[in-house]
Structure 1
Amino acid sequence: MLPKPRFNVKNAILASLPLQDLAATGRFLEPIALREDMVLQEPKRHIDYIYFIESGLISLRIVGAESMLESAVIGHRGAVGALLPEGGHFSAHQSLVIFPGSAHRIRVEDLRRLMDERPEIQEHLSRYVQALSFHCAHSGLCGVRHDRERRLASWLCLASDAVDANVLPVTHHYLSSALGLRRAGVTQTLVRFEEQGLIRKMRGVLQIDERKCLKQRACSCYGLISDAYALPGSMTFGKAYHAKTVAVG
């Protein structure tokens, strides 16, 4: 008898599922490489897949009139399109890969059927949706209420959490566009962070050297958003999870 195929999951939502639910979900999961600048979803377009992110970073953004503003970043603890199985058919956001990586994707109709059959899958996904919705809401508030330095520090910490790494392949131009800030102001603030030993800037890469101090510079939104992902109960979407290998079929 041939051994059952196995796959490894690093995504926090999938890895948090009971093994039986994960095995049932695994029959419908398809691995996919995420290339830089790859668009996973467009606003007002019908969505076919939900993407459980394994590695890399996705920008969730509002676009229009030749401009955009980022609402959230999604990494290994999240899923792109998570709102849709709970009743929606169209995305309000554009989802763009900004750091390349990988994901497991599943058709929306397959996930909806699984959630009907296995309510715990829906429960786990709903907890993440609540955290993501909170993230999006506070990003909007942050853009209105908080200054450039605190917003930049908050974004760097959130992105670092999302990819579970201190090295971020991000440019001044991207930070300026995503946060709706002047590029000169972004450069000035990053130079100040570097002079204070918080970060190091290299060609196309930014490294966080003093994470604790950078978190202290971040606005209150960072702590609130981080806490939203660390929900009470048996599951967390922060770093406290373990990858799982499961046999399917």
Structure 2
Amino acid sequence: MRPKSRFSLKNAILASLPLQDLAAIGRFLEPIALREGVVLHEPKRHLDYIYFIESGLISLRIVGVENVLETAVIGHRGVVGALLLEGGHLSAHQSLVIFPGSAHRIRVEDLRPLMDERSEIREHLSRYVQALTFHCAHSGLCGVRHDRERRLACWLCLASDAVDANVLPVTHDYLSSALGLRRAGVTQTLARFEEQGLIRKMRGVLQIDERKCLEQRACSCYSLISDAYALPGPSTFRKEHHSKTAAVV
């Protein structure tokens, strides 16, 4: 797959690459549909592909014997499998598609030589890995230090950013499982958010109506994680992505 134009790409990292680097990596990219419930990577398994997410949402999670804990969500500004690019061959996480969408995938054996040959590709991916590592670390801290209401508000804001939308096809059961919270508590907190006009709940869908107010309810982890993805460098993920997607429209 050879992208004809950066403006046809929704993935923030690919869209911000210089044209020569985009052309180089584009020779190896393969478009793929992401279906809900599909596992892209399993823990302790060899990593064959890296996924540049175009749309949809991926849950990065630690899987125990009887428990699962989500450490990050990855959407259009990210890459699934990026944590393995700095070395290593086995994934420590499970990567599960929770909202369907699409991606461009590339074989690890094709991407690593490109990173060695082209400094811009390596720098863009390295900056993203730093942000994702920070995201995972703060998710662990958040689960220990912050209360249910602030954690739920934080997750909803991060998921909304990741899919660039205010309508999230998420259930109470999923939030309970991913965040390690009692389902009754999740239902109670979301009902309170709805009473306050922050969200609206429908069958299998949650709509954020008052985004700024929801951000104010979120713990400090939200702003810290959000800022990490916008770290300055040769190009800034958020700034670059918004300017290029505006050009598409």
Give your verdict on TM over 0.5: yes
Once the 2 structures are TM-superposed, how far is the Cα of residue 243 of structure 1 from its aligned partner? 4.4
| Residue number in structure 1 paired with 2:44 | 44
Q: Which runs of 5+ in 2 are unaligned?
A: none
- What letter corresponds to residue 215 of structure 2 in structure 1? K
Please tell me whether the aligned partners of residues 31 and 105 of structure 2 are also in contact (alpha carbons under 8 angstroms). yes
Equivalent runs, 1:46-125 vs 2, <5 Å:
46-125=46-125
| Residue number in structure 1 paired with 2:4 | 6
Once the 2 structures are TM-superposed, how far is the Cα of residue 120 of structure 1 from its aligned partner? 1.2
* 1:238 partner SS: helix
* 1:62 partner SS: strand
- Superposition TM-score, scaled by structure 1 size: 0.94
- What letter corresponds to residue 45 of structure 1 in structure 2? R
State how far apart, in whole Å, the 2-side matches of 1:51 and 1:244 are: 23
* 2:40 partner SS: strand
| Residue number in structure 2 paired with 1:208 | 208
* 2:104 partner SS: strand
State how far apart, in whole Å, the 2-side matches of 1:38 and 1:139 are: 23
User: 1:191-227 CA deviation, whole Å, 9 max, x = no partner?
Assistant: 0000000000000000000000000000000000000
State how far apart, in whole Å, the 2-side matches of 1:98 and 1:9 are: 21
**Greater mean deviation of Cα atoms: 81-90 or 215-224:** 81-90
Q: Which runs of 5+ in 1 are unaligned?
A: none
Instruction: Provide the identity percentage.
Output: 86
| Residue number in structure 1 paired with 2:18 | 18
Aligned residues: 242
* Aligned CA-pair RMSD: 1.5
Which structure has more relative contact order (CA 8 Å, sep 6+)? It is 1
State how far apart, in whole Å, the 2-side matches of 1:71 and 1:98 are: 14
Once the 2 structures are TM-superposed, how far is the Cα of residue 116 of structure 1 from its aligned partner? 1.1
| Residue number in structure 2 paired with 1:141 | 141
- What letter corresponds to residue 75 of structure 1 in structure 2? G
User: 1:102-150 CA deviation, whole Å, 9 max, x = no partner?
Assistant: 0000000100011111111001000000000000000000000000000
* 1:87 partner SS: coil
- Judging by fraction of residues, say which structure has more helix: 2
| Residue number in structure 2 paired with 1:159 | 159
Residue 223 of structure 2 is aligned to residue 223 of structure 1: yes
| Residue number in structure 2 paired with 1:184 | 184
State how far apart, in whole Å, the 2-side matches of 1:205 and 1:168 are: 6
- Superposition TM-score, scaled by structure 2 size: 0.94
- What letter corresponds to residue 145 of structure 2 in structure 1? R
Once the 2 structures are TM-superposed, how far is the Cα of residue 171 of structure 1 from its aligned partner? 0.1
Once the 2 structures are TM-superposed, how far is the Cα of residue 44 of structure 1 from its aligned partner? 0.1
